[in-house]
Structure 1
Amino acid sequence: MVSGAAVIAVTYGLARYGYGLYLPQFRAAFGLSPGAAGAIAAGGYVGYCGAAVVASRLVGGGRARRALWAAGGSAALGSILVAAAWDGASLATGALIAGSGAGAATPALVAAVAHTIPLPDQPRAQGLVNGGTGAGVVGGGLLVLSVPEAWRWSWAGFAVVSLLVTACADRRTRWRSVPEGPAGRGGTDPDERALAPRLGRPLVAALLAGAGCAGVWTFARDLMTADGGLPPAVTGLLWCLLGAAGLLGGLSGVLVRRVGLRVAWRTTVLAAAAGTVLLGALPGAVVPAAIALACFGSAFVALSGVLLAWGAQRVPAAAAGATAVLFIGLTVGQAVGAVALGVLSEAAGTLTAFLAAGTLLVVSAAAAERRQGR
């Protein structure tokens, strides 16, 4: 669980969401407009989707270990390219490859937990591993506070850490080489298209939630710096708070058991909506911004954990495949949301863009299950 959470921390919290953390530096170095910044973020999300499809097929063929190394290797390669970027195009290439590492990490670690953790403990373990995102975001925020201008060296460090934690997770997992067919424990359906019809409602919910969450993950720090006028040290601390709150989201498995899927989904996405709107309305006020980011951070990690449970409930014999489909849906939503919100921000202002993001999250709450599944 610890090594798996470390892989999630690096691939998600640093290599993927680190782009939003360092967006003020990237905009200063390469002269990016909000629209261009959103398009680059969308490229990373597209890479995530492609990697998730490939990784879920590797897992389905009994090659989950290769999927894990695809995750760590992609995060490392993309981070090196970001560290060496010389213009906007090279930055976009690096962000795309770095973001794809997270796409491979989730299916690989779903399988790793299924191979290694006893069945009764797997839901809690999946939630705690998924909560590693918050630890990575905290680490990135502390790094910005320590060396705010050394972003190239920071991304080079992300690459080294990616390889180290991947090796550690590999050593700690009891890999099985047999194919993970639809009946296998933690297995995945070899054809994601066959799973999609059985995941209609959660897939729609994931798309809408992803589009709404793109506002904070892509533009939050830049918003607080440029529009709110907060100094970099303060925004770095607030980013750490976002990540620390995300650690609480690792308890999503407990939340689902206590209140059921429907209430858990609605609670988490509405909390994310509240945080998004509050930050958009008061980006220059430290206390409201802190409350907004804490609310959003815990809610985002929790809602992604609820999606894990939701997919497993809908297709219990293909949990890894269902996870891949739903997380691809979440990420497609983030890609579309990053582009659309960037364009909307240029045309109508950031407050309007963040209000639109909050509205999408509220709409996604309506897609919750009609019955109270636990």
Structure 2
Amino acid sequence: MVVAGLAVIAVTYGLARYGYGLYLPQFRAAFDLSAGTAGAIAAGGYVGYCAAAVVAGGLTGGGRARLALWAAGGSAAAGSLLVAAAWDGASLAVGALIAGSGAGAATPALVAAVAGTVALREQPRAQGVVNSGTGAGVVVGGMLVLALPAAWRWSWAGFAVAALLVTGWADRRSRWPAAPGGPSGGSAAAGRVPVRQLRRPLAAALLAGAGCAGVWTFARDLLTTDGGLSSAVTGLLWCLLGAAGLLGGLSGVLVGRVGLRAAWIGTVLAAAAGTAALGVLPGAVLPAALALACFGSAFVTLSGVLLAWGAERAPAAAAAAAAVLFIGLTVGQALGAVGLGLVAGAAGAPVAFLAAGALLVLAAAGAERPPRGSGDGAGNRSGHAVRAAIPSGAPARRAAGEP
């Protein structure tokens, strides 16, 4: 189930969502997009993500996580097909919005799937590994650009097919919680998260998302336009970005070892350093490679830390808390994509990347001190909290229909 869940994240995040930034040079050439327009289209995808996360959080809290999973795969497939067939900037924007929304439904669904399938003691590690699928998808996307740089339409059509295949695989490998028997079921409470419990991590997620939008939306365009690097080199660098993201699978271990606060500060500052370095030296291959590797590993890890942070703050509703915080991260990315696009158009992309790094530094300052006596047990508490998000009072059952 963990491998299947990783594959779903790889397609919905690494390809259908972040593939827009990977193929931005091709899109700008095909549809004559300005930097501001490109940022606005990226923001549309992030808005779709937020809407899907809200819906999926409600479905998961109501014992319908399986439906949320298929909403994720179906949205990614439909949007990718529309991108593949896009005939102008408007149709591209709609396709990117729908494709990007699939990722929003994937995370809450897979939080519930892991909690219903994986042994309690292994859940923090399993959540981290599933979440690292973003890096795997980015690697695949980079390899496609290297092999078929001009065949972007066929690549996006392939993303659509892959989305449906991996969704079916994850469905069959997961043990889904039974739907609640009535309005008094325990899952109703698990689906509601008082936002006041998440104010601090939500503010940090907003700032982090705004800063991370720089790399995910404009990095390849920066390397190509300002750095003067070839398509082959930027494709290899994108693969490196994704491969480094696979290290984010250790986020559960990291939180358990050093605690939430240290894990958040360290990973967000690493993302800031990578972003700023890319803006300063976009045309130098080795520094750019180191900067993207730093950012890739840090981004996937910090998103895993957010999962643990939400589970600790709302232990009775971990899946819904994950949806809220990932919505915050994505709202930040939407605002960042628009804002940084405007900065890039007015002052140049390198300046926009330095501004993105500054936003990430501010996000690191949002970390909170652990409660007195919490020790290093954050990872263990998060594992119990994720389990608590599953509806109680009903046994898990296999999606394939086994009793």
TM-score for the superposition, normalised by structure 2: 0.90
Q: Is the 8 A contact 1:275 1:292 kept in 2?
A: yes
CA RMSD of aligned residues (A): 1.5
Equivalent residue, structure 1, for 2:70: 69
1:208-247 aligned at under 5 Å gives the runs: 208-247=207-246
Q: Which residue of 1 aligns with 2:390?
A: none
Task: Classify 1:365/1:86 alpha carbon distance in 2 versus 1 (closer, same or farther; 3 Å).
Answer: same
Conservation of the 8 A alpha-carbon contact between 2:255 and 2:263: yes
What do the CA deviations read for 1:238-287 (whole angstroms, capped 9, x no partner)? Answer: 00000000000110001001100000000000000000000001000000
Q: Secondary structure at the match of 2:149?
A: coil
Q: CA deviation at 1:178?
A: 2.6
How many Å apart are 1:351 and its aligned residue? 1.5
Matched, 1:84 2:85: yes
1: CA distance between counterparts of 2:219 and 2:175?
39
CA contact (8 A) 2:204 2:364 kept: yes
Where does 1:39-58 land on structure 2 (aligned, <5 Å)?
A: 39-58=40-59
Query: Which residue in the other structure is 2:309 paired with?
Result: 310
CA positional deviation for 1:317: 1.0
Is residue 104 from structure 1 mapped to residue 99 from structure 2 by the alignment?
no
Q: Do the aligned partners of 1:265 and 1:365 also contact (CA within 8 Å) in 2?
A: yes
Cα pair 1:195 1:321 within 8 Å, conserved: no
- Asked if the contact 2:80/2:96 (under 8 Å) is kept, the reply is yes
- Residue pair 1:189, 1:195 contacting (<8 A) in 2 also: no
Contact 1:182/1:317 (8 A) holds in 2: no
1:56–1:188 CA contact under 8 A, matched in 2:
no
Cα offset for 1:27? 0.2
How far the C-alpha of 1:183 sits from its partner, in A, is 9.3
Paired residue for 1:15?
A: 16
Q: Which runs of 5+ in 1 are unaligned?
A: none
Please tell me the residue identity of whatever aligns with 2:368.
Answer: E
- Quick one: which amino acid aligns to residue 359 of structure 1? A
> Which residue does 1:196 correspond to in 2?
195
Cα distance in 1 for residues equivalent to 2:48 and 2:167: 19
User: How much identity, in percent, do the aligned residues show?
Assistant: 77
**1:122 matched residue in structure 2:** 123
Kindly provide the CA deviation profile for residues 106-155 of structure 1, in whole angstroms up to 9, marking residues without a partner as x: 00000000110111111110000000000000000000000000000000
Instruction: Between 71-80 and 168-177, report the one with greater CA deviation.
Output: 168-177
Q: How far apart in 1 are the matches of 2:336 and 2:113?
A: 31
Task: Tell me which residue corresponds to 1:93.
Answer: 94
Alignment partners' CA distance in 2, 1:142 and 1:352? 29
Helix, strand or coil: the match of 1:175? strand
Change (3 A) 1:189 1:182: farther
Give 2:29's aligned residue: 28
**Contact kept in structure 2, 1:269 and 1:362, CA below 8 Å:** yes
> Against the structure 1 CA distance between its residues 119 and 87, is the aligned structure 2 distance closer, same or farther, given a 3 Å change threshold?
same
Q: Is the 8 A contact 1:145 1:237 kept in 2?
A: yes
Distance 1:263 1:179 in 2: 38
Query: C-alpha distance in 2, partners of 1:69/1:142?
Result: 27
Does the alignment pair 1:163 with 2:141? no
Q: Answer with 162-171 or 347-356: which moved more.
A: 347-356
Query: CA offset at residue 74 of structure 1?
Result: 0.2
Q: Select the structure of larger CA radius of gyration.
A: 2
Secondary structure of residue in 1 paired with 2:196: helix
Rounded to whole Å, the distance in 1 between the matches of 2:120 and 2:281 is 45
The CA deviation at 1:188 is 6.8
CA contact (8 A) 2:82 2:95 kept: yes
Task: State the Cα deviation string for residues 158-181 of structure 1 (Å, max 9, x = none).
Answer: 000000000000000111223399
Deviation of the 1:350 alpha carbon: 1.1
Q: How many residue pairs end up in the alignment?
A: 371
For residues 209-288 of structure 1, what are the structure 2 equivalents within 5 Å? Answer: 209-288=208-287
Amino acid at match of 1:28: A
Which stretch shows the higher mean deviation, 168-177 or 99-108? 168-177
C-alpha distance 285-327 of structure 1, shift in aligned 2 (>3 A): same
TM-score, normalised with respect to structure 1: 0.97
Deviations 1:304-323 (A, max 9, x none): 00000000000111000000
Q: Kindly state the Cα deviation for residue 36 of structure 1 after the two structures are TM-superposed.
A: 0.2
- Residue 182 of structure 1 and its aligned partner are, at CA, apart by 11
- Higher share of residues assigned helix: 1
Amino acid at match of 1:313: E
Give the direction of change, closer, same or farther, for the CA distance of 1:310–1:182 in structure 2 (3 Å limit). farther
Report the AA paired with residue 173 of structure 1: S
Offset from partner CA, 1:180-204 (integer Å, 9 cap, x none): 999969x87434xx42110010000
Partner amino acid for 2:173? R
For residues 7 and 174 of structure 2, the distance between their equivalents in structure 1, rounded to whole angstroms, comes to: 13
Moved over 6 A (4+): 180-183
Find the residue that maps to 1:316 and give its secondary structure.
coil
Distance 1:188 1:253, change over 3 A: farther
- Displacement of 1:60: 1.1
Q: Is the 8 A contact 2:191 2:317 kept in 1?
A: no
Stretch moving more, 153-162 or 194-203: 194-203
Matches within 5 A, 1:167-182: 167-179=168-180
**Take 1:188 and 1:41, find their aligned partners in 2: how far apart are those partners?**
34
In 1: Cα distance, 2:189 partner to 2:324 partner: 10
User: Equivalents in 1 of 2:141, 2:219: separation in Å?
Assistant: 14
